[in-house]
Each structure stands twice: as structure tokens, then as C-alpha cells.
Amino acid sequence: MSREAIKTAKRLFEILEYFDEVQRPLSLREVAHRFDYPVSSASAVLKSMVMLGYVDFDRYSRTYMPTMRIVQLGQWVQGALFGERGILALAHYLNRETEETVNIATQSDLYLQYIHIQPSPQTIQAAIKPGTIRPLARSGLGWMLLSARSDETIEKLVRRINFEEEDRKKKIDLKELMKRVQKIRKDGYVVSLHTVTEGAGIIGMLLPVRRHGRILAVGVAGPADRLVANRAHIVRCLREGIDKFVSKES
């Protein structure tokens, strides 16, 4: 795929996410200013979205607005990823019991990707948006997901990760990674503190179900000091919640 095609696709999704952020119609000038696009480029993307039926244009207010086609486009995804109720019920349960942010994540090629976020009610929290990615081999839930893979698969993934990583300091030491993975397999959960963000962390477990072949993990994220103080309670809630809401799913 050419760089120009990637740039165009990136702009399209950035605009859709901006609509979701502001939740109102937007003018061409607002879109161009928000992302520092050339006006001609922003206009071309928006006109393409109008022609495809994903956005409409009101000539009187000169603003653009997503159509219901956007809503319909992803209606099936929640059911496909989370089932009828179990996984989302688990997220609500953990959020209530721990008062921390709850994340559901899966592997996306060489990355971990958060696919559902239940924000903490507390003022100081781990703020993450759905769709956020993290390095698979350099993040807590990434290690958790890797623990469900065979040693051979992990080795192949690490070779690919190191091949694509230009920064020598960020290349993965397979032996060190396998030590982490083996401990996680033994414990049944992961505790990761100050790994991606200094002062923050996550405690997570694998979910005993897969969705369309995808391995899923659940994590309770928050300030590292709170996670340390409440570690036993969080681990117990994870175990009890998974057993109550997810283990019975086929």
C-alpha cells in the first residue's frame, strides 16, 4: 500500500473519531484546522465520505454530519467480540468492585489493542481510549496474551518485532521475555507497574473464551500505588468475576 493511500485512510478515520469526540456537525475549516490538513485535502476526504454515504453535507450551514450508515456499520462488532453479555458484565462488575479502569484487550499482529474500556469513577485514573495499541512484548496485558501462545509462536513473534524495531534499546530479549511469560503462566495473572507509563500499571488475566479465534485478556488499570495496596482484592475480583460471568460461556 502506498504512503498516500495510508495517509488518506488515516485522515478518514481521524475525521470520524473527531465527530465522535465533539458529537456535532463540523465545518470544513474546523476539520482542516483540527488536524492541520491543507483545506483542499480535508475537502477531498469529506467529499469522498459524502459520496460514499457515510457523511452528509448541509449547504445552508455548510457543515458535515455522519449518517446512520456509520452506526449500522459496526453494530455487529460488540456481539461478535463480547458475546451476549458475559464479558461486558464482567467489565462492569470489576469496575464497580475495584473502582479502577477496566480494559478488555486482544492481540493485533505485533501489538496489544484495547477493544473495550470501562473508565474509573475516581479523579486520578488510567485514561485510555478504545483502539489504543501497545507493544505486545513490552506491556503487561501484552505479556498476558503472549502467555497463551506456544513458546515457538512467541519466538517467531519476537523475531518479527525485533526485525521491525529500529531502536536497539527497544529490541526484545527473548530469554527475559520468556521468564516473564513463565511466571505469568505459573501465577495465572500479570502485575505490570511503571511499564508503559511511569506511575501507572495494570493487573490482568486471560479470559477463558475466544472470540472468532482471538485471545482476550482483562485488566484492572490505575495508579501503581493503588494497585499495589489493593493487589489481593483485585486478583480475587478478577478470579471471581471471570468464574461468575465468563467461564460458563462456550
Taking only the tens place, the pLDDT of each residue in 6-38 is: 888 889 999 998 998 899 999 999 999 999 999
> How confident is the model at residue 53, as a pLDDT?
85
pLDDT in tens, 98-123: 999 999 999 999 999 998 899 999 88
206: three-class secondary structure by DSSP: strand
Please state, for a pLDDT cut of 70, what percent of the chain lies above it. 94
Average pLDDT on 120-140 reads 89
End-to-end CA distance of the chain: give it in Å, rounded.
Answer: 38
What band does 76 get if pLDDT is binned at 50, 70 and 90? low
| Of the candidate ranges 48-62, 78-92, 236-250, the one whose mean pLDDT is the lowest | 78-92
Pair 175, 196: CB distance under 8 Å: no
Pair 86, 104: CB distance under 8 Å: no
d(CA 141, CA 205): 8
pLDDT exceeds cutoff 90 at 3: no
C-alpha cell at 159: 523475531
pLDDT exceeds cutoff 90 at 210: no
- The helix or strand, by DSSP H or E, that contains position 76, with its residue range, turns out to be helix 75-82
- How many other C-beta atoms are found inside a 10 Å radius of the C-beta of residue 200? 23
- Domains of the chain, CATH where assigned: 3-72 (1.10.10.10), 75-245 (3.30.450.40)
d(CA 238, CA 244): 10
pTM value is 0.76
User: Which segments of 129-230 does DSSP mark as H helices, in order?
Assistant: 140-146, 151-164, 174-187, 224-229
What band does 240 get if pLDDT is binned at 50, 70 and 90? very high
> How confident is the model at residue 52, as a pLDDT?
86
C-alpha cell at 229: 495496596
- How many other C-beta atoms are found inside a 10 Å radius of the C-beta of residue 244? 13
C-alpha cell at 126: 488510567
C-alpha cell at 163: 526485525
